């Protein structure tokens, strides 16, 4: 089985310690991580494992295959605070 991430461009996000009532950063939100033989099966599994999603206001969800099975272990982290 392949690994997939589901994201949406819908919704808003605030940076830490924000005092503004308006969202101040554009981003994508992670909906979930699931396995499947293809995108359609992964989406079916996403809905099955997270039944509450159908009760949210999200509409468009984007599916992307993750090439590394150990994506957390192989991830490279960057810390913006080190560059200020």
Q: Return per-residue pLDDT of the chain as tens, 84 residues.
A: 999 999 998 887 777 777 777 766 778 899 999 999 999 999 999 999 999 999 999 999 999 999 877 777 788 888 988 988
Cα 54 to Cα 32: distance, rounded to the nearest angstrom? 13
What pTM value is reported for the model? Answer: 0.78
Cross-strand pairs, 8: 29
The values of phi and psi at residue 6, to 5°, are -115, 130
Residue 42: how many other CB atoms lie within 10 Å: 23
Q: Which of 70, 63, 75 is nearest to 34 (CA)?
A: 63
**Tokens representing 71?**
């994506």
Tell me the three state secondary structure of residue 14: coil
């Amino acid at each position: 089985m392949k690994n997939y991430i589901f994201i949406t461009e819908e919704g808003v996000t605030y940076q830490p310690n924000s005092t503004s009532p308006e969202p101040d950063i554009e981003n994508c939100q992670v909906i979930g991580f699931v396995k499947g033989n293809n995108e359609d099966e992964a989406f079916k599994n996403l809905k099955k494992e997270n039944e509450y999603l159908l009760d949210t206001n999200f509409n468009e969800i984007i599916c992307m295959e993750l090439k590394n099975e150990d994506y957390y272990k192989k991830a490279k982290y960057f810390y913006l605070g080190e560059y200020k």
